[in-house]
Amino acid sequence: MIRDSLGEDAIIVATREDKGGKSVSVTAAVDDRRSQEYDYDADHSYDPGFEVSKSQKAAERDEWLQYDEEEENNAVMEVITDTLIQHGVPEDVTDKLLMTSTIMGLEQPRVALLAALEETFKFKSLFDISNKNHFIFIGPPGAGKTLTVAKYAAQAVIDGHSAVVMSADIERAGGIEQLKAFTDILDIALERVSSAQELAEKINEYADIDYIFVDMPGLNPYDPKEINVIDDYIQASACEPALVLPAATDAYESEDLSKIYTPLGVRAIIPTRLDMARRYGGLLAAAYAGNLAFAEAGVSQNVAGGLDRLTPKRLAKYLIPNTVDQTHDKDGGA
């Protein structure tokens, strides 16, 4: 099917199963360097413009092709390396992405990085992470948990589902009022809880609701007592925990946070403020350190439509903007 669509020169870069194995996504590309760079006669032999023996012709052609291929690969790797450095990606993650990009052997930096991201990281909607219908959002103070809860609740309502929002963030000034403003507009219930046991009881009261979204306060991740509080809420409620982490956070700080929250059962990371950041190395560091799947991402301050499903293609565009890829094309890249 790929060759029917893209031609006989098409190559399959990567494949993955979606929807529990019900469908397959295929990443493919066309390697047409030879047809672009060299003139071939009818029998596909290269004519350099002077007489050489067939064996010499073949040897020189292979040498030229190998040299040009190495030059192109080096140019692609240079762009990807510079990109990862600019984003502050840690060395171990950079090495992994570069190694994978090299194996792919693609000519466009963003396409090569896309393939490496797809091979290195997991990308799943939060709703596909588990079969649970209640989620608890945790993360450092100021990560954007309250707004993220409102966005998920809004998306559930827009999709025709029933939803309830619960908040354990009842001491922060303005926290519950912010959520109430959103839930009033969405015409859904907002419950305040002050303990892990109370959260479990409230969830049982809403057993017939499609989705329950729980907003946790921004407790200090470096205080073991406060981490234990978060764990109590997760264990008592049996909620699926999701880590909310803002873009532009220092990469090594993000890595530390991931290692703190992952033992609580976190399997997904929800990046926020992608629209207000230009450095995304921290997100890669956190996902890599905790083996976390990239779920939806916060891409604006709007509640309705403020979530975007993060995919390898979208993430590659954040890492390598159009201007970088176009510059490489202009300078002789793919």
- The torsion defined by the Cα of 173, 179, 182 and 188, in degrees rounded to 10, comes to -150
For 111-146, write each residue's pLDDT tens digit.
999 999 999 999 999 999 988 999 999 999 999 999
Query: Can you list the alpha helix ranges (DSSP code H) found in 105-195?
Result: 109-120, 126-129, 145-158, 175-186
Output phi, psi for 293, to 5 deg: -85, 140
Question: For position 31, what pLDDT does the model report?
Answer: 58
Question: For position 125, what pLDDT does the model report?
Answer: 94
The model's pTM is 0.75
Cα Dmax for the chain: 87
Query: b or e along 165-196 (b: 16 or more beta carbons within 10 Å of the residue's beta carbon)?
Result: bbbbbeeeeebbebbeebbeebebbbbebeeb
The CATH number of 123-303 is 3.40.50.300
Q: Which parts of the chain have pLDDT scores under 70?
A: 13, 18-22, 31-73, 173-174, 323-334
Question: For position 175, what pLDDT does the model report?
Answer: 73
Residue 272 tokens read as 């926020």
Question: For position 62, what pLDDT does the model report?
Answer: 52
SS3 label, residue 211: strand
Angle between helices 109-120 and 54-86 in degrees, nearest 10: 70
CB atoms within 10 A of CB 240: 22
Place of tokens 């290195």: 120
List, as one string, the DSSP characters of 89-123: --HHHHHHHHHHHHHHT-SSHHHHHHHHHHHHSEE
Question: For position 67, what pLDDT does the model report?
Answer: 42
Residue 253 tokens read as 């700080």
Q: What does the domain layout of the chain look like in residue ranges?
A: 2-120+320-330, 123-303
Question: For position 295, what pLDDT does the model report?
Answer: 97
* CA–CA dist 177, 155 (Å, integer): 20
Q: How far is CA 135 from CA 129, 189, 212, 265, in A?
A: 11, 16, 6, 12
DSSP character for 40? B
